[in-house]
Each structure stands twice: as structure tokens, then as C-alpha cells.
A and B are shown apart, each in its own frame.
Chain A
């Protein structure tokens, strides 16, 4: 079970708490986690990455085990701590006023 934390506005959209728990079939990569989130929570499709380009939305970042993976390719494997569920894959919104 992969744990994914999401920001407040996405929790209200998905009707969840701060943490999602998802299954990933096959290699656990950044892209595979995002795919699994969107399949389990289709209302989040387009909110984390752009619908058309699939690029990460510019005001969001991805952190894992204290490392910033925001600019890594979607095929990047995630560490064992995430695969085992010990550590979450974190989707974080920029703190930018508003």
C-alpha cells in the first residue's frame, strides 16, 4: 500500500483526509503513483498535473523522504520506504499568498 499526502483543497475535492492509500501494480515510480491516484480518485485528474500535457502543475511539488523529486522524470523509481508504506509520497502546494 502506497501512502500519498495531498493539500487541503484536494482533500475537499476528493472527500478524503490528508492521506490517500493506493495500490500500484508494477514498478513504483513517480508516474505510476500519479496514475494510481487519478484512477482511484478521478476527480483529482487535472489538478496535480495538466490534463493535456501531463506536466506537474507549476505550484505543486513532490517530496519523498525529505528529497525534492519535483523535477525528476515520471519514470524515476521511488525508494523502498515509499514502496513499503513507511514513508508517504507528498504532494505539496506552494505557499504563495492568496
Chain B
């Protein structure tokens, strides 16, 4: 029997929503890690029982949680139950929440602050966890202040891939409204050495050697209201998506505009077309139709709610430019929620399901590719992230 497991990170804990393949009746589990901010929860594509969660707090810092049984139980992988709490030398274990920049390989620079002054680089939290496509013990982590970390031992320990932060443009990177975060990590399924990442607000980068070296891939992006609208660095990329069958084609929701690249980011062109706003956070692709793209327009810049108070998902079946509003089952008046960058996902069932969560605590599901929507839950804490596991 097929089914889905929706992993929801919120401002006050994680929730797991499960259903069979019909996606009509749902079981809700949670809150897990009640009271903590859960920036992201994501499962391994090769072992659906293996799930990682980024648990964070302005008071107590960063925690990494791991489940080996599909979210029923959790542990901090650096401190497994029953194992010694100290090393033979007497030093504490508990390294799974240790994210320390590799300053030996890439000395810490400063970055640009909101007012244009230079600001120290400081670790704050993990925004995004991207499990390997082939190894359940390997995961990339995108962090604030922006850098890329990796574990190869199931989250017990983490090390930085310093080539990105040491790329040389770091002093030009600057925080977006949410902080200077590395929020998007995409692994090319046809070439695992190729990784795409995005930083707000620096732009998109690509590595072709497994994360050792990086190049900015921002040509064609145009951001008005930054000093040089076509600069190589400084674009506020909100999210990038790719289809696994065609990983050289990328779609981007930028602070301004929806963009497309047909050559792995070497060149971008705008595909916003008839969208009602040039702003939004999420972007995702239909599991079986590489030219079918979904976005949720949001009103920029400081309002950050749907235009006209209507919550509408927009779908393009032509790879951009021509968009249709999907509204059935979504509130079409007095709706002023936001949908944050990691809060949309798709399942891989035969009839592709689309999911998104809002800052109002609703998680919506469309089991038919966006034609019809219904809330799975209505009253969670503000949703930070949504991921889906397809269970077959």
C-alpha cells in the first residue's frame, strides 16, 4: 500500500502527517521537540526510515536530531543511548550539534552587514538539511552565517566544506531579512559531484567537484535596487528547484522574478510571465512533468502576504512564462499568510501530490497536481518547512 509522510518544521516543534495514497485522511503526530524552532526535517531518499531534523533556538543554539524509525523516536546522533558519554581522553562526546567553521582551510572573513559595514562571520543555525541520494549516513547542511557542512557518519559529526565560504567573494555577501543563510542545496542525481546551493543574499553557486570548489552562477539575474542590478554577487535568491530527469534545467524564485536556466545555471532568463507579483519564496516541480512548475506569489517587499488576500498557487505547464492560478480549496479572501522558502514539496505517487505550509499554521495538500486543495491541518505554529516522503 502506497502512502506519504509529510515532515513539517514549525516555529514551535515538528509534526509528521501521514496518509495512504488517497491523501484524504491524515494522522498527525507531534509536536516533536516542542517549543523549539524546527527549521527543516528531511528524510533520506534511500532509507525512508532515516530522517534528520534541524532543531534550533536563539537561547540554546543548534541541535541535530535523527530518527531511524520513520519519526517514531529520535536521538541526537552524537550521543547515542548506551554508548560512552566521553572519549577515552575524557572529552565530551555530543559532537552532533558542533558546527565550527574550518578556519584552518578558509580563514573567517567578515561579510557585508545591512548598513554596508563589515560584520563578523558567526554560526547561528542550520537552515537546510539535504541527505545524500545514495548514502543514508551522508547529509549536507546549509547554515547561517552562510556555509556548507557535511556529515558522513549519520550526523554524529559535521565538517565544513570550506571552499564555498573561502570562494573569495564572502566580504560581498550580505544577509537578507531572514539572515545570511545558505538555504538551498540541490544534488544532481546524474552527477553527484555537481551541487547547487543558494545564499540569501549572495546568489547561486555551483560545484562540479563534490563541493571542493565553487563558481557563482548568477549571469542573467537582474535585481533592481541593488547598486549594480546585474552584479555577479548580491542577488537575493529565495529558492531553486530542479527535476531529477533533467538536472541541467533550473528554476529559481528570486526576491524579484522567477527565472530559468537551461545550462545548469550558467545563464538565466526571466519566466515570470503573467504572475501577479514578482516576489515569492517557494518554487517546485511536478514529479513526473519536468516542464510543470509551481510558485506561490507573495506581495513584496515588506508586506509578504498573497496579493489581494487570495492564496493562489500558480502552475505553469510550459516551463514558465504562462501561468494559471490554482484556487480550488484555497482561501480567496482575507488571507494574509506567507509561505516560506522551504515550505513546498511534492510527492512521487502516480498522481503527483503538491504540499505547502503557511505562517498561519495551515498545511495544504493537492492530491491531483494542484487542481484541488484541502488543508491537512489548520492550526499548527507558523510553518517553516515542508518535505514529503513517498512510501511505496
Contact = CB atoms under 8 A, between A and B. Distances in A.
B26 interface: no
Given A39-B92, A42-B93, A43-B79, A51 B63 contact: no
A65 interface: no
A3 interface: no
Contacts of B79: 42-43
Contact of A43 (B33, B35, B36, B94): B94
Given A9-B60, A42-B78, A94-B59, A47 B97 contact: yes
A57 B60 contact: yes
Given A9-B35, A42-B86, A52-B123, A47 B60 contact: yes
A98 interface: yes
A79 B316 CA distance: 69
Contacts of A39: 85-86, 90, 92
Contacts of B36: 9
B59 A42 contact: no
Contacts of B85: 39-42
Contact of B58 (A41, A46, A51, A98): A98
A78 interface: no
Given A40-B85, A42-B86, A9 B78 contact: no
Interface residues of A, number: 26
A60 B79 CA distance: 23
A60 B34 CA distance: 20
B61 A42 contact: no
Q: What DSSP secondary structure best describes chain B's contact surface? A: loop
Contacts of A7: 59-60
Contacts of B63: 13, 43, 47
A93 interface: yes
A8 interface: yes
A10 interface: yes
A9 B92 contact: no
A28 to B, nearest CB: 18
Contacts of B93: 42
A23 interface: no
Contacts of A10: 60
A36 to B, nearest CB: 10
Contacts of A57: 59-61
Nearest to A48: B60
A95 B36 CA distance: 15
Contact of B97 (A8, A45, A59): A45
Contacts of A46: 61-62, 94, 97-98
Query: How large, as a class, is the contact surface on chain B?
Result: 20 to 34
A19 interface: no
Interface in B45-88: 57-63, 76, 78-79, 85-86
Nearest to A60: B59
A68 interface: no
A75 to B, nearest CB: 19
A31 B1 CA distance: 55
Interface in A76-98: 93-94, 98
Contacts of A93: 59-60
A51 B97 contact: yes
B100 interface: yes
B279 interface: no
Contacts of B123: 50, 52
A10 B95 CA distance: 16
Given A9-B36, A42-B85, A52-B123, A59 B58 contact: yes
B98 to A, nearest CB: 5
Nearest to B99: A51
A93 B101 CA distance: 26
A51 B101 CA distance: 11
Among A42, A45, A98, the one with the most B-chain Cβ atoms within 10 Å of its Cβ is A42
A44 interface: yes
Among B35, B59, B97, the one with the most A-chain Cβ atoms within 10 Å of its Cβ is B59
A39 B62 CA distance: 18
A49 B2 CA distance: 45
Given A41-B85, A42-B85, A46-B97, 14 more contacts: A7-B59, A9-B36, A9-B60, A13-B76, A42-B78, A47-B97, A48-B60, A50-B61, A51-B100, A57-B59, A57-B60, A59-B59, A60-B59, A60-B60
